[in-house]
Structure formats: C-alpha cells, structure tokens
Amino acid sequence: MNCKPVIVVHGGAWAIPDCLAESSTDGVKSAAQQGFLVLKHGGSSLQAVESAVRILEDNPAFDAGHGAVLNADGKVELDAIIMDGRNLSVGSVSCIKNIANPITFARSVLEKTPHAMLTGEGANAFAEKMSIPTVPTKELVTEHAIKEWEQYQKYNQSVTTLFNTEKAHDTVGAVAMDSEGNVACATSTGGITNKMVGRTGDSPIIGSGGYADNFVGAVSTTGHGESIMKVTLARHVLFNIERGKSPKDAADQALDYMYNRVHGRGGLIVVSKTGEWSASFTTKRMAWAGIDGGVLSYGLNPGEHFQVSLDNIR
Ligand code: GLY
C-alpha cells in the first residue's frame, strides 16, 4: 500500500492562558513536524506518535513529562498509552513516578510484556528493569505547575468544578497514519492538578484516552478524565465513524454527547483509515497541529485553522 502519511497532535484542551498561547502553538507545530519526519523517512505510525509525544513531554508548556501538574500531595504521577492499529496491541502505564518520557515506557509495556497496562510501584520496578531513564521529581516540576497547585490548595476547589469552568491544565497526544496505511495513537499526561494520590485518569485507559484500529482509525483525547472514562470517548468517536460519520462529525458528536450526558468538557484528535482527520474541542482552547500533503495546519482558538506549506522542511 502507498498511503499519504498523516500526523495530528494536541497539547491539551483547557483554558490556555495568553502567557502559554505562543509556546503551546509552537510546541504542537514542532511535535507534528518531528512526527511527520519519521513518517516521511518510512517510519511507522507507532514510531511517529511516540516521537511526537516525546517532544511534547519534553516541553514544559504541556501537562506531561516536564511540566506535569501536581497531585494533592504536591507530587507528580504520570499516565500514558500507546496503541498500534495493526493488531490492537497496546501498552499503558499509570501512576508512575520519576520518568520523563512515559510514552516510551508505555511502548516497552506494549513490546516487552504479555500485558496491556502496568501501574504504580510495579510499573516503576519494570521501568528500572528495562533501563528506562529516571529523573528526580523536581526536574519535572515547573513554576506554573506549582502556582496552579497553590491556587487549588488555597481556594480548596474540586478538580471537577475547575475542569467544568475550563481552568485545568491537560494532556498531550498524537495520532498518525503511515504510508502502509497503519494507524496509531499516543497520549501522555500528568493528569489534573490536586488529583487524589493514586488517581488514574482517562489517558491510559484503552478506549478512553486513546484507541487505534486499522479497520476504523485512531483517536487521542484530552479533558476531564472522569467524564471521558464514563463515555469511553476515544472508542465512541470510532463507533461514530463506523456508523458512517466523517471524522469531524464523529468527534463533535462524541464531545457534545459527553457534555450533555455527564457535563464534561474536553477535546480530541482523530485520523480515519482513509487519512481524513480532525481536531475538535469544547474547552476554551486546545493547541493542535496536523500535517498531510505537504501542508501544516494548526490552531488554538475555536474555529481557527491556519495553514503553511512545508516546502522548507527536510
Ligand atoms: N485527561 C487527563 C486526565 O483527566 O487525567
């Protein structure tokens, strides 16, 4: 098969403040470019989404890896998922500590264990065995994350209330289709500020934070994890596509359903098995970028869709 490669990334659906708007947009654009280079050089969609998400995890503007938000104890606990649409193999990790690139660790779970998901101490022990690099927690924590955490502590606001008023920092992800027509997804997060210790959100949950199936497409989601899990948002979008909707209509309907049914807001990116893709959100903003056919598209605010040619990218 010789398909046109596609990659789409997001940097989290939330009320991104103006001070993070430029870095968020620049961050998703460079992650999409990195992922696209992998595809352009013949890499698989699985390699491309891992590579793009690593860039986002390394960027402190985003809630994943460096820049992750803090839990109720002021600590970092990370979740991630990666899924291969060829055979539905999946690796996910939850409540892990001291790992700067959870997505690469999730890929080790996919490739080197008979399991789909590892959590907590057991996961960290396996990471050590796999020689996954660790970092001290303080290296993952940004000033912005500390300020956000202090605000939550001071006003004693519940995470649910804050998310529904669109003030929660959130998650990164990527979906891709390679030249063989294989799709993959990857999602990585620090979760939501002030979450209970041990809380696992939607991101590492198969069918909620992400799903990839060559027969339909691939999705990565972002937003209020408890709401996303209740409606299995990623699989819900693919179900809509299976019933004949376009990726955009499938995404918009699933997000509307989540809002109407459980009052949860969020966003998602999706690529279908035919290479059509969409980025949608019901929060104030979501930084996203997508590349196909030599064109980089990106946006941040509702309805925005800027385009630039990739002619100069090698
Ligand atoms: N969407 C990320 C989380 O709720 O954990």
The residue ranges of DSSP E strands in 158-276, in sequence order, are 172-177, 183-189, 210-213, 217-223, 266-272
Q: What's domain 6-309's architecture?
A: 4-Layer Sandwich (3.60)
**Which residue in the block uniquely carries the two structure tokens 């890896």?**
65
Please tell me the number of Cα atoms within 13 Å of 229 on its side-chain side.
Answer: 10
pLDDT at 154: 74
Measured from the Cα of 168, ligand 1's closest atom is 4
pLDDT at 5: 97
pLDDT average, residue stretch 168-191: 95
pLDDT average, residue stretch 266-288: 97
Provide the residue count of the chain.
Answer: 314
Backbone angles phi, psi at 213, to 5 degrees: -150, 115
- Is pTM beyond 0.85 here? yes
pLDDT at 130: 93
Does residue 71's CB lie within 6 angstroms of at least one atom of ligand 1?
no
Please state, in angstroms and as integers, the Cα–Cα distance from residue 34 to each residue in 8, 123, 130, 268, following that order.
11, 28, 25, 20
Return the H-helix or E-strand segment holding 175: strand 172-177
Could you give the CA distance from residue 165 to residue 168 in angstroms, rounded to a whole number? Answer: 8
pLDDT at 169: 75
pLDDT at 198: 95
Residue spans per domain, the chain: 6-309
pLDDT at 313: 55
Ligand 1 centroid distance, CA of 307 (Å): 29
List the residue whose alpha carbon is closest to atom 4 of ligand 1: 225
Ligand 1 centroid distance, CA of 73 (Å): 17
Among 77, 108, 82, 80, smallest CA distance to 95 is for 77
Q: Is residue 158 predicted with pLDDT exceeding 90?
A: no
**134-149 residue pLDDT tens:** 999 889 999 888 988 8
Three-state SS at 258:
helix
pLDDT, mean over the chain: 93
Which has more pLDDT, 157 or 237?
237
pLDDT at 206: 98
Q: Is residue 159 predicted with pLDDT exceeding 60?
A: no
By most ligand atoms within 8 Å of CB, the mutation choice from 189, 196, 219, 233 for ligand 1 is 189
pLDDT average, residue stretch 165-192: 90
Flag the least confident range among 6-15, 125-134, 303-312.
303-312
pLDDT at 312: 64
By most ligand atoms within 8 Å of CB, the mutation choice from 53, 167, 170 for ligand 1 is 170
Rounded to whole angstroms, the maximal C-alpha distance in the chain is 56
CA-based radius of gyration for the chain = 17
pLDDT at 248: 98
**Which residue in the block uniquely carries the two structure tokens 């990790």?**
93
Please identify which of the residues 25, 171, 187, 221 carries the catalytic annotation. Answer: 171
pLDDT at 167: 61
Q: Is residue 177 predicted with pLDDT exceeding 70?
A: yes
Percent of the chain residues topping a pLDDT of 90: 85
Confidence of residue 64 (pLDDT cuts 50, 70, 90): very high
Walk across the sheet containing 306-309 and list its strands. 117-119, 89-96, 78-84, 183-189, 172-177, 6-14, 285-292, 295-299, 306-309
List the residue whose alpha carbon is closest to atom 5 of ligand 1: 191
* 171 given a catalytic annotation: yes
pLDDT at 260: 97
Which has more pLDDT, 3 or 45?
45
By most ligand atoms within 8 Å of CB, the mutation choice from 228, 233, 268 for ligand 1 is 228
Q: Is residue 173 predicted with pLDDT exceeding 60?
A: yes
Amino acid at position 209, single letter: G
pLDDT at 150: 86
Confidence of residue 162 (pLDDT cuts 50, 70, 90): low
Please tell me the number of Cα atoms within 13 Å of 294 on its side-chain side.
Answer: 3
Sequence-ordered list of residues with C-beta below 8 angstroms from that of 289, at least 6 positions apart, any chain: 8, 9, 25, 28, 29, 31, 32, 296, 297, 298
Ligand 1 centroid distance, CA of 116 (Å): 19
